[in-house]
Amino acid sequence: MTLSLDANATEPLRPEARAAVLAALDLPGNPSSVHAEGRAARRLLEDARATLAARFGARAQDVVFTAGGTEANALAVRGLAAGRRVLAGATEHPAVLRAAPGATLLPVLADGRIDLDALRAALAGGGPALVCLMAANNETGVLHPIAEAAALCRAHGALLHVDAVQAAGRVALDLGVADSLALSGHKMGGPKGAGALILRPGIDPAPIIAGGGQERGRRGGTEPLPAIAGLAAAAEAAQPDPRLARLRDAIESAIAALAPEARFPGATAPRLPNTSAITLPGVPAETQVIALDLAGIRVSAGAACSSGKVAQSHVLAAMGMGADAGCTIRVSLPWNVPDDAAERFVAAWAAMRAQTRQRAA
C-alpha cells in the first residue's frame, strides 16, 4: 500500500467536504439570479460565507471567495498595494512574490522566522507600506511571529496581509490582528478551485477581476458553488490534531538516531505539526523522492507547487543553507495519516540512505 506524505501540496478530500460538494452539485441556480433557483444557490453561498466568517473571526460581508489561495493572495497584494511600498518575507510563496514583483524582500533568521529587526527598520525607512508575511511556510512548516509583526505594522500605519494557506486548520488561527488573510480550500481537505480572502472591516482591495460585480464588486465571476461549499465544510472540519506532531517528531527522532548527518531545517522554530524538512547531505532531493516513490512513499522536494520540476528552494537559500538545500525533502502528514506512517516512512528512508551510500562507495 502506498503512503502519501505530501499534504502541503494538497490534503486528501475530507468526507464532510465531499458530501457538501455533492449536495451543491444538485443546486442548478446561479447565485446572482433573482428567481427561486438563484435564491436557493445564494442561500448556500451565504451559508458558506457565514461559516468561514465564524471560523476565522470575521464578518460575513468581509469574506471574498476566490478560485484558490494563489488568487486570494494576488487580490490582497495587488488590490491593496496602490500608494504603498510592498515589503514581503523572503520565504513567501510565489503566489505572493510574483504578485508583487517590485517588493522589498525582508530577510529571515537561520531558523526560518522573519527577522523582526529588519522589518522594524524597513517600516521606519519610508512611506506607507503593505507587509506580506505568511503564517506558516509551505516547505519547512516554520510559523512566523505574526502577532509581533502585526504590532510593528500597527505602530507604523502599515497594512499586514497574511498568507494562511498552510496554517489554516492546522494551528489555531483567525484574522486576529491582520488586515487580510488568504485561505485555500484544498489545503484544508476541501476540493481544488476555491479559496477566500478574509478582510478586516474597512479594508477594501481593488478587484483584479471585475467582471459582473459578484462578491460585492471585489471579484467578478459566477461563484463555483460546489467548490465553495466544500471549502466551507473542510474549514469547519479541519482542526489542529496533536497526533500529527507526535508522528512527525517520531520520524525526526528516529532519523536523527540512525543518521547523524541528517538535518531538519527550521526544526528549532515553532512549526506546523505536520511538516518536516529533512536534509540528507550529498544526496540530491530528486534522487531521494524517486527512491521513496519506488518504495510507495510520496513526498516532495522543495516546493511541489512548482509543477513537478525540482527547482532550487528560495526558502532554504534565504535560511542560509548552501548546497545542502538541494538535498532536502519535505514530508507533510495529511489529516488522515495512518498510525504506522512513522515506522513505514523511517524504514523506507533508511533503505534509501543505505542504497545511496552503497552506490557512492
Helix 285-294 / helix 341-360 crossing angle, nearest 10 deg: 120
Stretch of 49-57, 65-73, 150-158, 310-318 lying at the interface with ligand PLP (CB under 6 A): 65-73
Task: State the DSSP H helix or E strand holding residue 352, giving kind and residue range, or none if neither.
Answer: helix 341-360
State the residue for C-alpha cell 503564517: 135
Which residue's CB is nearer to ligand PLP, number 69 or number 326?
69
Question: Is 265 an interacting residue with respect to ligand PLP (CB under 6 A)?
Answer: no
Nearest CA to 285 out of 263, 269, 257 is that of 263
Nearest to 8 by CA among 286, 244, 242: 244
Q: Between residues 139 and 179, which has the closer beta carbon with respect to ligand PLP?
A: 139
Give which of 35, 25, 9, 67 is closest to 219, Cα–Cα: 67
User: Which of 132, 153, 305, 327 is flagged as catalytic?
Assistant: 305
Contact (Cβ atoms closer than 8 angstroms) between residue 276 and residue 252 = yes
Residue 354 is which amino acid?
Answer: A
Q: Does 68 bind ligand PLP (CB under 6 A)?
A: yes
d(CA 20, CA 231): 9
- Output 71 or 236, the one with its CB closest to ligand PLP: 71
Can you tell me the distance from the alpha carbon of 127 to that of 252, in angstroms, rounded to the nearest whole number? 44
Cβ 48 to ligand PLP, closest distance in Å? 16
Burial of 283 (0-12, 13-18, 19+ CB in 10 A): buried
69 binds ligand PLP, rule: CB under 6 A: yes
Amino acid at site 219: R
Among 11, 16, 163, 215, binds ligand PLP (CB under 6 A): 163
From candidates 151, 305, 347, 350, binder to ligand PLP by CB under 6 A: 305
Clarify whether 153 is annotated catalytic.
no
Please report how close the Cβ of residue 259 comes to ligand PLP at its closest, in angstroms: 27
Q: Which residue is nearest to ligand PLP (CB)?
A: 69
The residue ranges of DSSP E strands in the chain, in sequence order, are 3-4, 63-66, 85-89, 104-106, 129-134, 159-163, 180-184, 195-199, 275-279, 297-298, 300-301, 328-332
Among 165, 244, 331, 337, binds ligand PLP (CB under 6 A): 165
Q: Considering only the stretches 27-35, 80-88, 149-157, 163-171, report the one whose residues sit in contact with ligand PLP under the rule CB under 6 A.
A: 163-171
Closer by beta carbon to ligand PLP, 196 or else 251: 196
Q: What value does the CA radius of gyration of the chain take, rounded to a whole number of Å?
A: 21
For the CB of residue 66, give the shortest distance to ligand PLP in the complex, in Å. Answer: 9
Question: In the complex, what is the shortest distance from the CB of residue 59 to ligand PLP, in angstroms, rounded to a whole number?
Answer: 23
Asked if 184 touches ligand PLP (CB under 6 A), the answer is yes
Residue of 182, 185, 288, 275 lying closest to 238 (CA atoms): 185
Taking CB under 6 A as the criterion, which residues in 121-140 touch ligand PLP? 134, 138
Residue 93 engages ligand PLP in binding (rule: CB under 6 A): yes
3-class SS at 114? strand
In the complex with ligand PLP, which residue's Cβ is closer, 134 or 251? 134
Size of residue set near ligand PLP by CB under 6 A: 15
Which CB sits closer to ligand PLP, 138 or 287?
138
Q: What are the residue ranges of helices labelled H in 218-274? A: 225-237, 242-258
In the complex, least distance from residue 69 CB atom to ligand PLP, rounded to whole angstroms: 3
Would you tell me which residues interact with ligand PLP (CB under 6 A)? 68-70, 73, 93, 95, 134, 138, 163, 165-166, 184, 186, 195, 305
Q: What is the set of active-site residues?
A: 305
